[in-house]
Amino acid sequence: MTQTTYRGYKSRLAGVLVLSISFLWTPTLFADVTLLAESNGFPGASTSNDAMLRIAVKKSSMRIINSAQFHVVTIDMEKNVFREFSAYHKVYEQKTASSFEKLRQKREAQQRKQIDEVQKLSDKEKAQALKELREDGIELNGKIVAKTERTTITKDFRVRIDGVMRNVKCTRLLIRENNARLPAFELWVTKDIPVKENFLRFYELGTFSKAVIAELKKITDFPVRIEALVDTGSVKKRIHCEIKDIETEAIPAWGFDVPKKFKKVADLAEFLKNQEAIEQGPKLNCADCSKLIPVRAKADTWVKRSKSMRKKYWFCNSECRKRFMAGTKWRTKK
Ligand SMILES: [Zn+2]
């Protein structure tokens, strides 16, 4: 008798404990979110190694910082602007929705070319080639249809939410283009993290097909792990991104725009390539201290003798320039 009462009390106690734990974790909807994610897919990164990214989401704006590479990306879904910054060189490249539309068209044109080539084959070769095309997600009609497969496979992920480590139960989702063997997206999503913004919609300013983006927009659960197949038509690359930490503090509105003194360049990758060439390329001697310096046309590092003179004097810094100009050497015409 006593034993039963004790058992009953114990199970009631357990019930109370479960209740209070779930109340501690009330599903209020987060507005501003800062995420820490491990990813190999940062745009503009020179390596494919994993890097820790800091992702800030505020309404229709997203900012991704890769501090190891001095790289920042901002996406504004309201203005349809995608910007990629080099914090080191204080330059940025800007893409709009139409820039990505052009890239999508380029990919589709590439696929049509593949279809045309298969059509030219003999019947015998055609069957095998068609099978391979279908496995790549390309259909003879040239159309791209995407669908989401919700699997029953689940997995626990460890995520720190506002400073507390939690086990988050995730379900595996696959988004596939046509009959492709490899899915365009493999997602591990959860209902346990009530973030209001579906940040998958930010992929709209990217190279994924319209059909895939439409599927991404429908997902209401929070994606803890994202694996995507980036396919430009000529290059295929698998990227991943796993959320490790979520902070739900308010984020100030500044910091999503172009910082002062940053200059726009047409092609950031091209700019960085040239910059590297300059830094490794020909060097000059400082006119004052004769130290070797890279050739860089910075206003404060060189001075002309007169407006009519072509000759430039290069300096390693403004101190050397000041010292040189205080002397008489540069004014004396030969
Ligand atoms: Zn010098």
Residue 26 within a domain: no
Ligand 1 centroid to residue 298 C-alpha, Å: 14
Core vs surface per residue 3-24: b (16+ CB within 10 A) or e: eeeeeeeeeeeeeeeeeeeeee
Tell me the mean pLDDT in the region 49-56: 88
> What is the share, in percent, of the chain residues with pLDDT greater than 90?
52
**Residue where a domain stops, chosen among 240, 263, 294:** 240
Ligand 1 centroid to residue 243 C-alpha, Å: 47
Question: Is residue 82's pLDDT more than 90?
Answer: yes
Q: Which two tokens stand for residue 261?
A: 């003194």
Q: CA 262, CA 44: separation in Å to the nearest integer?
A: 17
Residue 186 within a domain: yes
Ligand 1 centroid to residue 285 C-alpha, Å: 8
| pLDDT score for 136 | 92
Supply the DSSP symbol for 259: P
**294 shares its domain with 195:** no
Ligand 1 centroid to residue 293 C-alpha, Å: 8
Angle of helix 123-135 relative to helix 97-119, nearest 10 degrees, comes to 150
Ligand 1 centroid to residue 311 C-alpha, Å: 17
**214 shares its domain with 318:** no
**233 shares its domain with 101:** yes
**110 shares its domain with 225:** yes
* Mean pLDDT, the chain, integer: 83
Ligand 1 centroid to residue 145 C-alpha, Å: 62
Q: CA 240, CA 204: separation in Å to the nearest integer?
A: 17
Model confidence at 4, in pLDDT bands (50, 70, 90)?
Answer: very low
Ligand 1 centroid to residue 318 C-alpha, Å: 9
130-162 pLDDT, tens digit each: 999 999 999 989 899 999 999 999 999 999 999
> For the ranges 55-64, 76-85, 273-282, 283-292, which has the lowest average pLDDT?
273-282
From the number of C-beta atoms within 10 Å of its C-beta (0-12, 13-18, 19+), residue 139 rates as middle
**159 shares its domain with 230:** yes
Q: Which residues pair with 230 in a beta bridge?
A: 237
**165 shares its domain with 113:** yes
CA-wise closest residue to 58 among 262, 253, 315, 328: 253
**289 shares its domain with 215:** no
Residue 233 within a domain: yes
> For the ranges 88-92, 119-123, 206-210, 329-333, which has the lowest average pLDDT?
329-333
Protein residues near ligand 1, an ion, with CB under 5 A: 286, 288-289, 291, 316, 320
Ligand 1 centroid to residue 310 C-alpha, Å: 21
**286 shares its domain with 235:** no
**102 shares its domain with 236:** yes
Residue 25 within a domain: no
**198 shares its domain with 104:** yes
Strand 236-247 vs strand 222-231: parallel, antiparallel, or unpaired? Answer: antiparallel
**236 shares its domain with 286:** no
Domain span at residue 178? 97-240
Helix (H, G, I), strand (E, B) or coil at 29: coil
Residue 13 within a domain: no
**174 shares its domain with 298:** no
Ligand 1 centroid to residue 273 C-alpha, Å: 26
**Residue where a domain stops, chosen among 240, 264, 297:** 240
- Cα of first residue to Cα of last residue in the chain, in angstroms, is 116
For the entire predicted model, the pTM comes to 0.74
Q: Determine the distance from the C-alpha atom of residue 219 to the mean position of all C-alpha atoms in its chain, rounded to a whole number.
A: 19
H or E element at residue 134: helix 123-135
